[in-house]
Chains A and B, each alone.
Chain A
Amino acid sequence: MIRSLIRGFSSLWLTFSCLVLGCVIVFWGTLAQVQMGLYRAQEEIFRSLFIYWHPAGFPWKIPVFPGGYLIGGLLLINLLVAHVRYYRPGKGKIGIVLVHLGIVLLLAGQMLTDGLSVESVMHLRLGQTRDYSESERQSELAIVDVTDPKVEKVVAIPTQFLSRHPIFQPSGLPFQVRIAAYRANSEVSIQPARGFEPVQATPGFGGDLWWRDTPSETAMDKTDVPSALVDIRTGSGSLGTFFVSEYFDKPQAFAWQGRSYELFLRARRYYLPFSLKLLEFRHDRYPGTDIPKNFSSRVRLECPASGENREVLIYMNNPLRYDGATFYQASFDPDDQGSVLQVVRNPGWLTPYFACALVGVGLIVQFLIHLIPFLKERAAHETSH
């Protein structure tokens, strides 16, 4: 039984089948992007064990084809088992071993990236300094203690917890936060309209607004805009129900026991131990046209901990790598007065480089191992004629 399993898992038939199936799903996934958008196609076809068919009108889904994780996983097992079973030391196979080692590293690195990398953006207007980046897809409920104008104390609750946990007792705060209502994607109106209900907020702004639920966005370039009603409860009763939404830039303010607080629903922030200030943004065009030639941001990097204070130029194909994060020139404001940097934290970012080197060396070695004897044989053949 085990022997036949090993034979099955190490067979080249399995390799061939997986590679062919891989071709099929890559093709499928590319075409599917046209209909369902890049993000969903990735989730359903490449980052899944099975590709499911959802029959219209039925609650269940039927697996119809192996997904990317299943095929990739099988290939990985196949590779490892085959090497354990067939590997004999000898110089004839060294190239193949290197190639496969590189591929294992590449696949593993990509899984690491899928699981661990965090992407966010930093939007800087000219002259602005920021020490945090913001998520494009996730939001948070932030309670900021602003009593001391020099130091902001922030407690943030990611919004995915809001629908499940109605009451929070944030550590270090002398009150409870109760979520009276939460809408993961919402619309807010300043006048009554069909399907909208009045916002039941007492203090602060928002009492004269209407809001309603909307389905989650699937398109790549659109994101959900959450809103919530938040009740701040102290030992001696409620301070009121506040309306917060990502539609507003302005926080709701309240005071308790001599301290001032602000309440936000905002894009999730990732604070950095250093800050960037946008000194200059350039959008160069080819002469006489609107074809962009280059985008670049000149920023001042200040890190209090290390005492670093220097200017950095970030431009296309030339990111800034600092403290485990990488800052890329991603976008800009329509008036050319602001720059958007993509911030990526990916602990596995080096694996493709190593993998590429391993496979490249392996392929060249193997190619030469075959080519040299062939050419020698050829030469011998010719001299014998």
Chain B
Amino acid sequence: MKPRIEKAVPWLCVAGFAIWLLSACLPSPETGFHFRAFGSLPVLMDGRFQPLDSVARNALLQMRSKQTVLLDDGRPESATQWLLATLAAPESADSQKIFRVNNGEVLALLRLPETREYFSYNDIQPQASQLFAQAGRIEGIENSRRTVFESQLMKLANAINLYEQLELSLKPPRTGDFAAELASYTKSIRPGMIAMDDRAAGRSYDTNALGLFLGFLAGYDTMARYSPLSPIPPADNLVPRDEWQSVGTNLMLMAGGGQLNPATAAYATMVTAYRANDPARFNQAVDGYRAWLAGRYPHEISLANQEFVFNSIQPFYLATLIYIAALLLAFLSWFHGTGWLRRSAFFLVILAWVIHSFGLVFRMHLEGRPPVTNLYSSAVFIGWGAVVLGMILEKIHKDGVGCVVASLVGFVTLIIAHNLALGGDTMEMMRAVLNTNFWLSTHVITVTLGYASTFVAGLLAIIYILRGLLTSGLNPGSARALARMVYGVVCFATLFSFLGTVLGGIWADQSWGRFWGWDPKENGALLIVLWNAAILHARWGGLVRERGLMILAVIGNIITSWSWFGVNMLGIGLHSYGFTNAAFQWLLIFVGSQMAIILLALIPVKNWRSFNPNKV
């Protein structure tokens, strides 16, 4: 290729992906129901304000492990669309196949065909009593002692439970026209209360008025009891502004003399309009309510809008795809030694990292927290840190290794994060002792960077071993370069894991009065420090050469994975009959693969393709 074209290719790659990204982010205008406006309405759930869209996505992740629904005709439907149907028209939502069941024993218990994977509420409902009888028994069993059947059944029971609760969140059961009902309920309150007083005083009373009134209340009481959502903000300044109520509670309180809350009226109109398939009225109700909120709750509505945008862009998903593309190009560049492939890969890594960072910063802004607050965000951040290290290595060495490391770790950690997100809301609130931004941003960040750099060192070592053993591409120069990289990254890892561990000790001293308590998570961090220190001392003492260094670094991968995930699973596998937890299986597979690589590295060097002059 001509030099000028070679220079242009990397830029063309980036431009192509950038255009694709923009097209993925820019929404097309909505005709009919304005689902997006509805999806970005704020509600209070699990202690935090979130848009209805997040409620929908998190619920779907728990039910079917995906954020969208497939209609029977194969068309995809957005999470918000599905949630609106569930909230406003449960009888039609009940036939949507949104529950994923793939455990044979659970399928057999519920008498469902093994040939399918997704089932509707109507499919499962006939056997629901069986399901909940089993769930009631399993509830008493400790999480880590459950068998695969038990934990899968529990997962389904929880999903069904959540679904049934959502159905009771916006509309009273068996109500068709909620807006009309609201008007009759408002009118029934006074006569109903008078009849109730009369009855209590032993006077004759209006049985019809009382029956009508109590009939309404029974439905609202059910809603108040089960709704996980609190979508109704306080209408006046007399109550704290974060004490939002469920629709049911709000309606019950109206009986005691409260005013009809504009939010309740708006949601009732939305329900009625949706059921009557009247987009104009629906959109008008949504817009009217948004205007009312904007005047009184500008902060809540703006956060919800932003989280909605974050949800629909899905920056981590986009970054994952670009990391894969970069990884392929970087691999190709090793076999086809042209510079433009490597440079294209490098440019794409940078692009993916920019999107990754954008997502990270956006999340921090939404949560008002430092980047790492739970296992999910630790995966996102470990990936981010490792990509930074990879880019630095690439900038220094310019041999594609940094690109492979960056794109591979970026891609794998985002996949891990995606799977961790299946558990539910990833922006959950922090429990009291963790409710401190100072320690989250010092201890947690440094320790996580320690994890990331130990993984990078381990991955570099794997590249050394596999390239050296299986290909003839590892010449003494590139071998030495890799060894220097591993050494440098291990130094970096030692620095961060030590500082992170000691900062953790100081946090513990601040909150519990002991610097060190031999807690499993502390021990996990200490293991990484000790191991990295061991690697450095082995190298300084000349106890290991290049190959030994690589083997020690691969062992670092095992130790880090154990510290990251294994300590959270203590009890799993030790008590239970089988390795029940899917994450534990993956951990075992990972450890097994690392052991296999160590065994490969132990094959005598004369059999390595790279170092054997006869086989070139």
Contacts and interface: CB of A to CB of B under 8 A. Distances in A.
Interface string A30-49: 11011100100110001000
B227 to A, nearest CB: 10
A20 B571 CA distance: 24
The bracket for how many chain A residues form the interface is: 35 or more
A317 B494 contact: no
The 10 closest A-B pairs by CB, nearest first: A12-B541, A286-B47, A344-B513, A19-B534, A289-B47, A356-B502, A292-B432, A287-B242, A363-B495, A30-B523
Nearest to B544: A16
Given A106-B502, A328-B512, 15 more contacts: A12-B537, A12-B538, A15-B537, A16-B538, A19-B530, A26-B526, A30-B520, A30-B523, A41-B518, A293-B432, A317-B510, A317-B511, A330-B512, A346-B513, A367-B491
Nearest to B538: A16
A317 B507 contact: yes
Interface in A318-353: 318-319, 326, 328, 330, 342, 344, 346, 349, 352-353
Contact of B494 (A286, A291, A349, A363): A363
11 contacts: A11-B541, A12-B540, A26-B523, A38-B518, A286-B46, A287-B230, A292-B431, A316-B436, A317-B436, A319-B510, A352-B515
Contacts of B506: 352-353, 356
B518 A13 contact: no
Contacts of A363: 494-495, 498-499
A286 B513 contact: no
Interface of B: 44-48, 230, 242-244, 396, 429, 431-433, 435-436, 439, 488, 491-492, 494-495, 498-499, 502-503, 505-507, 509-520, 523-524, 526-527, 530-531, 533-534, 537-538, 540-543, 559, 562, 567, 570-571, 574-575
A200 interface: no
Contact of B495 (A293, A318, A364): A364
Contact of B512 (A13, A294, A318, A342): A342
A289 B495 CA distance: 40
B483 to A, nearest CB: 14
A360 B509 CA distance: 18
A116 interface: no
Nearest to B397: A378
Interface in A1-60: 11-13, 15-16, 19-20, 22-23, 26-27, 29-31, 33-35, 38, 41-42, 46
Contacts of B488: 370-371, 374
B433 A288 contact: no
A341 to B, nearest CB: 10
Contacts of B517: 38
A211 to B, nearest CB: 34
B230 A288 contact: yes
B435 A316 contact: yes
B502 A355 contact: yes
Interface in A254-306: 285-289, 291-295
Contacts of A319: 510-511, 513
A13 B523 contact: no
A23 B530 contact: yes
Nearest to A325: B513
B513 A293 contact: no
A363 B518 CA distance: 24
A102 to B, nearest CB: 9
Contacts of B436: 316-317
Interface of A: 11-13, 15-16, 19-20, 22-23, 26-27, 29-31, 33-35, 38, 41-42, 46, 106, 109-110, 113, 117, 119, 285-289, 291-295, 316-319, 326, 328, 330, 342, 344, 346, 349, 352-353, 355-356, 359-360, 363-364, 366-367, 370-371, 374, 378
Contacts of A12: 537-538, 540-543
Contact of B534 (A16, A27, A294): A16
A11 B537 CA distance: 10
B515 A317 contact: no
A50 to B, nearest CB: 18
Contacts of B530: 19, 22-23, 26
Contacts of B491: 366-367, 370
A286 B45 CA distance: 10
A16 B537 contact: yes
A30 B507 contact: no
Given A19-B530, A30-B567, A113 B515 contact: yes
Among A20, A318, A371, the most chain B Cβ lie within 10 Å of the Cβ of: A20
Contacts of A316: 432-433, 435-436, 511
A29 B519 CA distance: 10
A258 B491 CA distance: 75
A119 B513 contact: yes
Given A19-B537, A356-B502, A291 B509 contact: no
Contacts of B499: 356, 359-360, 363
